[in-house]
Amino acid sequence: NAVCTHLGCVVPWNAAENKFICPCHGSQYNNQGRVVRGPAPLSLALAHADIDDDRVIFVPWVETDFSTGENPWW
**Model pLDDT, residue 4:** 94
- Distance (Å) of CA 61 to CA 28, 36, 37, 54, 58: 21, 22, 24, 21, 9
The pLDDT value recorded for residue 56 is: 83
Domain ranges of the chain: 13-60
Q: What is the pLDDT of residue 74?
A: 61
pLDDT tens-digit profile, the chain (74 residues): 789 999 999 999 999 999 999 999 999 999 989 999 999 999 998 877 888 888 888 887 777 776 777 776 66
> Which residues are tagged catalytic?
25
At residue 42, φ and ψ (nearest 5 deg) are -135, 160
Please tell me the distance from the alpha carbon of residue 47 to that of residue 32, in angstroms, as a whole number. Answer: 12
Q: Could you tell me the fold of the domain covering 13-60?
A: Rieske Iron-sulfur Protein (2.102.10)
Q: Which residues contact 68 (CB under 8 A, 6 or more apart)?
A: none
